[in-house]
Structure 1
């Protein structure tokens, strides 16, 4: 389904996304606060553990906070997104709904939550020393591209999960590796300069630095953004082709 197809289905997508968003906080008294608590605590622990080691990093508390919150969207949205077909098998086998809309709605709902979470930390980052300025207006564009990237991943993961039910354990290990392979706690300058260009091919490392550029340095890292945009579009296009091929046997397997 191309962009025109999504636009034709926009009412269905909006309804499904709203439902997913409400389901996430259903039965919780504090709603969004709970989703903020876990990353805040993680950022606090990482700051306390590493603050002496990286005391020379300017505004280290804000540095860690932004890294944790940006990575959280990737970690949570993919771990939930991979179950969108298996977890909604009744919709796949008993309705004519376009199956791509299932991972899309989940990705959009978690994208909305993540955007709200990042907006909440903006004033905190500012208080901690971040240089928040006019480039904050570019934040919705950055986050929209990040959602496209996650959607592309979820197309792969959700279709693979139908055939390989232990994928969630494998993906948990992979996300942990990516966490330590990204500049969340340690500064980018720790990577030897000769390897830094290769290191930044990691899209998660790239998007974290893009967010830090906006929230902490009041600048748009245009070269990194263009790279991440191209990766996101290519990943989503490849994900759509892969998903359509794999979905032919969803009914049989489910």
Structure 2
């Protein structure tokens, strides 16, 4: 562990460069650049509000903010894990030529997506202002679910980046998994409308805990309960342990497989 900490400190500037590279590549030749990180969630919020508000509005107050809180968390997880999964394979030429701590590649992808997440929060702030959502001091507690979803996505991203090197079919399967998670996360519907066994399944989804905590801070102005924190922390610890263990176990074979 001391070796990994030492390497992380030694290569922190490289990590910074990788993050900046990912952001530049994503918005290269784009006229509006990073402004799309604000416009995209706003556009999706408007479309989904028009589509789903008539279906679920009876059970949800301030549907635009409710919807966007779910979108911000889920979209970050989706983008971060998908990009991290491709990070080792995508940097295969560099991995073959020089020695670098390989975990920097999935970590840089998650960090660059985290920058987009913070930018998306600007779009959420605009919707909060336009809808005149009451603001309290508890709004500052939004940093907890943001931190939790970052750590959880980092763990899952590192795990996927290691597994996909051996099991390439995961690249195609993951799209199906994400589609399933979209409906198993209460992004555009209230949990209360679900039947018993489906509700239990949705509550077992770690993303549900992150979304609920984010809504508590931003939309409802309440302090998230300790049980919710414990669920989030447990999910992060499990994801990080599994991700780091799988990565360390397989990283020496990457050069032979990429």
Same fold per TM (> 0.5)?
A: yes
CA-CA distance at 1:7 after TM superposition: 4.0
State how far apart, in whole Å, the 2-side matches of 1:204 and 1:140 are: 15
Gaps of 5+ in 1: none
CA-CA distance at 1:24 after TM superposition: 2.2
More deviation, 137-146/156-165: 137-146
Count matched residues.
Answer: 254
Gaps of 5+ in 2: none
State how far apart, in whole Å, the 1-side matches of 2:190 and 2:98 are: 49
Structure 2 counterpart of 1:138, from 136, 141, 147: 141
More deviation, 197-206/72-81: 197-206
CA-CA distance at 1:29 after TM superposition: 1.5
Structure 1 counterpart of 2:252, from 235, 248, 251: 248
Local SS of the residue matching 2:55:
coil
Which of the pair is proportionally richer in helix? Answer: 2
State how far apart, in whole Å, the 2-side matches of 1:220 and 1:27 are: 43
CA-CA distance at 1:193 after TM superposition: 6.0
More deviation, 32-41/89-98: 32-41
State how far apart, in whole Å, the 1-side matches of 2:101 and 2:170 are: 23
RMSD of Structure 2 on Structure 1 (CA): 2.1
Following superposition of structure 1 onto structure 2, how do residues 121-200 of structure 1 map, counting pairs within 5 Å? 121-192=124-195, 196=199, 199-200=202-203
State how far apart, in whole Å, the 2-side matches of 1:68 and 1:89 are: 32
CA-CA distance at 1:72 after TM superposition: 0.7
Following superposition of structure 1 onto structure 2, how do residues 49-68 of structure 1 map, counting pairs within 5 Å? 49-56=51-58, 57-68=60-71
Local SS of the residue matching 1:53:
helix
CA-CA distance at 1:195 after TM superposition: 6.2
Q: 1:111 is matched with which residue? A: 114
State how far apart, in whole Å, the 2-side matches of 1:235 and 1:4 are: 19
Following superposition of structure 1 onto structure 2, how do residues 40-79 of structure 1 map, counting pairs within 5 Å? 40-56=42-58, 57-79=60-82
State how far apart, in whole Å, the 2-side matches of 1:104 and 1:138 are: 25
Distance 1:40 1:155, change over 3 A: same
